[in-house]
Every structure is written in structure tokens, then in C-alpha cells.
Amino acid sequence: MFDGTSARQARRIAGKYPKSSAAALILGTVTRPAAEAHGGVRAAGPGRACRGGRRGGGGGDVSLDEVQELDGRPPGESGCASRALSLPVRTVRSTQLSDHLTSPDITAKFESRGVDPRDGDEACANCGKLGSDAVKLKNCNACRLVKYCGVDCQRAHRKKHKKACKQRVAELKDEQLYSQGLERPEGDFCPICTLPIPLQMNEHSSFMTCCMKQICLGCVLTAQKRGMFDCAFCRTPLAGNDADRLAMIQTRVAKKDPIAINILGQNYFKGELGLQKDARKAFELWEEAAELGSIDALFSLGNAYDLGEGVQQDKTKAAEFWTKAAMQGHVPARANLGWLEVEKGNNDRALRHYLISAKMGERGSVETIKEAFMAGAATKEQYAEALKGYQDATQETKSHDRDEAKAFLDNRK
């Protein structure tokens, strides 16, 4: 798998998401629906960057100044000699696809027949017959990259085409993987002020068991200042105890509300609200919630498979569920995909995921990219892009009410 150095690097870069944090991951998931899922990813907290280094390290705070400061330093000399890496600096590949029509075997085929490969979609990839009213060409269903005059030609060409076809299919898959889920899902937005809730959501919002809404602390506090202590969204009096809370959730579960089913799963997983801890039951509820559209449940299913909690451990399935969640904008799931790629030693794929989650406001991801940059495993441009995206995303979550709520809560500490 890894050689010694890259394994070390993997662990280092994966610092935010070490295997042991998977437990924390899922624990994060269970305290709250969308939010705790979000709380989950970052078990280790900030500050892992470059401990012994001259710069940066500490609080994990990152700034554009720092990018400038580090500008021009060769990789591995960013004040952290100990983190020199074996992996070469690689640029994150763009999602642009290479021109497969010019792949050698196809090109040769057409050249030998005097057909421009760029007109390949007009001719049978096997015999070169041009499409016409009489000759209807059909796409290769898998890659849609080449056409054939008939099944015989398709069959005859299969062996030659297989490699390019597979590659193209993989690229189409990747294209979707890295282009979908770039925006946070609806449940990440406060239904009152309509702003995205900062990550980690459970620290910045309150979950209402009456209406299954995640309300930002700015709106909660503003309502309370007006003397309104019921749910700030639906005005239902808040549940006074666990039994009432559970009853409220059950009511919504009976109505097949995916958020409620997901929450009940989390309650079972943790043994909350007076329920007997039951990972198997939690898993079943998450399956149902996911079926009904809960993105958080997809994430929790990924966690369950990853840890083998309530289900047979299956890392491939874990990745599948995280992928589904990430492609619908689930930020911690996206960061976990980055972590998985780090584990596999796929540096550039990892960076592509982390770049997405950083731009969605996930601090651990921007810190991970910073670490990678300082270790020479990411470019300055990548780090700068991640940082700028992170700062923009954070800015979008700010409001006067939220600032006031934060000041109020800080004062009470």
C-alpha cells in the first residue's frame, strides 16, 4: 500500500480525520441531525498544522498574508523540516476531460482510413463506415465516445475499445463527483433568516423537535429578546423533557418525515431520550430516512459501515454512502472522501475533495490543505484558493443577529 513515508504523510494529512476519529464522527452525528453530522468531521480540532514550525501551527488560523509569506519557499522548507514528504507536488487536475478521440488506437484506426478522428462521431469506430440515412450509427452506451454501424462492429472493436471506454466512464463519474454537491443543502440554511448556518452547525444553531427545523442562534436569541420563548419558527411551546421530545419526534416519524426518522436513528444510536442504545435499530432507521431523502442519514450510514456499527463493516459501502451524501452537498461527507483518498495515497484526488469542503466553509479542510501545502504536497495556488473560498463561505454566514448572539453567549461563558 504505502511506503513508509507516504503512509506517514497520509496519517499526517489525515490528521483531522484519523481512523480513531471515526467514532467521534459518528458521535458527532448523533447529537443532532444535519448539524451534528456536521460537527462530526472534525474530531481533532484545529491546530495540528506544523506544530514545531516557525509559522502557522498553533491555532490553525490561516490567512492570506501567510500565503504570501510562504510564497517562494521551496516545498518542505516551510519551517517544518520534519514534514518533508515523498509525494511530488501535483496540481489538482481540472475537470476538463482529455480528448479521447485522439487516443492512439482510435486515431490510428481513422488515420489509416483517411478519416479525421475529430469526425469520429460520424463514422463507425471499427470499420470507418460513415453514418448516413442508410447507415445509422449507434453510440457505445457506456462511454458515448464512439459509434458503431452495428453490433458486429461493436463486438469486433470491444477489445481495442475497452481501455478507452473504461477510462472515459471513470472520467464521467469523476466529473459528476467533483461538480455536484458544491452548494450546501437546504437543511443547512436557517429557515428564518435564510442564511447558511456556520459549521459546525450544532454550535451555531438549535434543533426544534416540533418542526424539525434547525434555527440559527441569531434568530433564537432575537426571538427571545422579543419575549418569545416558544419555537422561533412554528411557535410550538418547547418540549420540557426527554419524554415530550421523543413524543414529538415520534409524531413526525409516523408521518414519514425523513429528518425525524434520521433523528430517531441518532437517538437510538446514542441511547438518548430514554431509549435503549441500539445501533442495529439506528441503522435501519437511517436506511429508511435515506430512502426518503435525508442526506444526513446517508452520511450516518457511511459512518455505520465505516465503523461496523449496527451493520457488518464495509469500507466500500462507507465510501459509497459518503459519496452520495457529498454529491448532495453534505460537507463532512465531502471531507471524509478527502480523507479516504489520502489513505489510498491519492493526493490530488484528496485535495480536490478538500478544496470543495473548504470552499463550503469547513475549516478542517482548509487547515488540511494548508498542512499539505506546507509539506509540499499542495501548491500555493491550491492553498490560496481554499483559503479564499473558505473565507467567502464564512462571510456568507455572518449577520448582525448572529454576531450579537455570539457576543451574548461569549459573555455568559
Smallest gap from residue 253 Cβ to Zn ion (A): 16
Pairing status of strand 147-148 against strand 138-139: antiparallel
How far apart, in whole angstroms, are the C-alpha atoms of residue 153 and residue 123? Answer: 12
How far apart, in whole angstroms, are the C-alpha atoms of residue 191 and residue 212? Answer: 11
| Number of separate helices (H) and strands (E) present in the chain | 18, 4
Give the binding range for Zn ion (CB under 5 A) out of 23-31, 56-64, 211-219, 386-394.
Answer: 211-219
Smallest gap from residue 365 Cβ to Zn ion (A): 24
Smallest gap from residue 96 Cβ to Zn ion (A): 19
> Would you say 233 or 269 has its CB closer to Zn ion?
233
405 sits near Zn ion (criterion: CB under 5 A): no
CA distances in angstroms from 360 to 21, 110, 129, 181, listed in the order given: 21, 45, 49, 10
How far apart, in whole angstroms, are the C-alpha atoms of residue 361 and residue 353? Answer: 13
153 sits near Zn ion (criterion: CB under 5 A): yes
> Would you say 115 or 193 has its CB closer to Zn ion?
193
Q: Which of 182, 192, 292, 307 binds Zn ion (CB under 5 A)?
A: 192
How far apart, in whole angstroms, are the C-alpha atoms of residue 243 and residue 251? Answer: 12
C-alpha cell at 191: 429557515
Give the binding range for Zn ion (CB under 5 A) out of 21-29, 103-111, 116-124, 356-364.
Answer: 116-124
Smallest gap from residue 215 Cβ to Zn ion (A): 6
Q: Which residues contact 319 (CB under 8 A, 6 or more apart)?
A: 302, 337, 340
| Backbone dihedral angles phi then psi of residue 196, each to the nearest 5 degrees | -65, 140
Smallest gap from residue 195 Cβ to Zn ion (A): 6
232 sits near Zn ion (criterion: CB under 5 A): no
Number of residues that bind Zn ion (CB under 5 A): 22
97 sits near Zn ion (criterion: CB under 5 A): no
193 sits near Zn ion (criterion: CB under 5 A): yes
143 sits near Zn ion (criterion: CB under 5 A): yes
Give the binding range for Zn ion (CB under 5 A) out of 59-67, 79-87, 183-191, 308-316.
Answer: 183-191
Query: CA angle, 332 as apex, 169 and 360 as ends, to 5°?
Result: 85
> Would you say 237 or 308 has its CB closer to Zn ion?
237
Continuous segment of H or E residues that includes residue 54: none
125 sits near Zn ion (criterion: CB under 5 A): no
Q: Minimal CA–CA distance to 331: which of 37, 23, 3?
A: 37
234 sits near Zn ion (criterion: CB under 5 A): yes
233 sits near Zn ion (criterion: CB under 5 A): yes
Give the binding range for Zn ion (CB under 5 A) out of 73-81, 130-138, 224-232, 310-318.
Answer: 224-232
How far apart, in whole angstroms, are the C-alpha atoms of residue 365 and residue 257? Answer: 32
165 sits near Zn ion (criterion: CB under 5 A): yes
CB 157 within 8 A of CB 125: yes
223 sits near Zn ion (criterion: CB under 5 A): no
CB 297 within 8 A of CB 289: yes
Residues that bind Zn ion (CB under 5 A): 124, 126-127, 129, 140, 142-143, 149, 153, 165, 190, 192-193, 208, 210-211, 216, 219, 231, 233-234, 236
